Amino acid sequence: MGNSPSIKPFAYTYGIIMAGYSILVLVLMYVFGLTEQNWYLAVINGIASIIIFVLGLKAFKKSNGGYLSIKEAIKVGLAIAAISGIITAIYTFIHYTFIYPEFIDMVREKAYTDMADGGMSNEQMEQAGGVMDVTTSPWFFATVTLISSLFFGFLISLIAGAIMKKQDPALNQNIK
C-alpha cells in the first residue's frame, strides 16, 4: 500500500469542485428567491454530489493502477468532503451573515407563527426562542454544512467504494 498515490490532489481538486457547486446552488437559490428546499432541487443536488464524488474516486483509482479498496475510497471521499465542507461552511457563514441575513429572520418568523398556530403559550414560545436563536445562527448553519458534508461524503464514498473496489493482487501475495 506504500505505492498508493497521495490523496491530497484528489481531495483539493474534487473538494473545490464540490464546494463551488454547493456555493453556486446557494447563490442561485438566493437570486431566484428559493427560500425552501424543493424536493427536485434536493434530488438534483444529491445526484450532482454523487457524480462529483464518484469522479474523484475514479480519478484516484486510475492513478492507483486501477485498484481501489473500500478503505482508500473512504479516505478519498472524506478528504473531498472535508475540503468541500470547510469551504462551503465558510461561505455559508458569510452568506447568512452579510449577504442574506434576512433569511434567518424569515425562518424565525415562520417558526414563531407555526408555534402560535400550534397553540403554544407565550412562555413556551419564549423557551423555544432561545433554542431557535442558536439553531438559526450563521454559525449553526455553517457547522451543519460541514457536518452534513462529512456525513454524506462518508456515505457516498462507502457505497461507491464498495461498488468500485478492485483489490490489488500484489497485496494478497504479501499476506501469504
List pLDDT tens digits, range 60-105. 999 999 999 999 999 999 999 999 999 999 999 999 999 999 988 8
C-alpha span between 103 and 58 (Å, rounded): 38
List pLDDT tens digits, range 128-158. 888 888 898 999 999 999 999 999 999 999 9
Cβ atoms of residues 100 and 30 within 8 Å: yes
Nearest to 164 by CA among 45, 54, 25, 77: 54
C-alpha span between 37 and 128 (Å, rounded): 23
pLDDT at 176: 46
Kind and range of the H or E run holding 46: helix 39-63
pLDDT at 161 over 90: yes
Nearest to 75 by CA among 159, 154, 155: 154
According to DSSP H, which parts of 64-167 are helical? 70-94, 102-117, 122-135, 138-164
C-alpha span between 142 and 40 (Å, rounded): 23
Mean pLDDT of the region 29-55 = 89
Share of the chain above pLDDT 90, in %: 65
Q: What's the pTM?
A: 0.89
Could you give phi then psi for residue 68, rounded to 5 degrees? Answer: -155, 125
List pLDDT tens digits, range 121-135. 888 888 888 888 889
Strand partners, 126: none
List pLDDT tens digits, range 15-36. 999 999 999 999 999 998 886 6
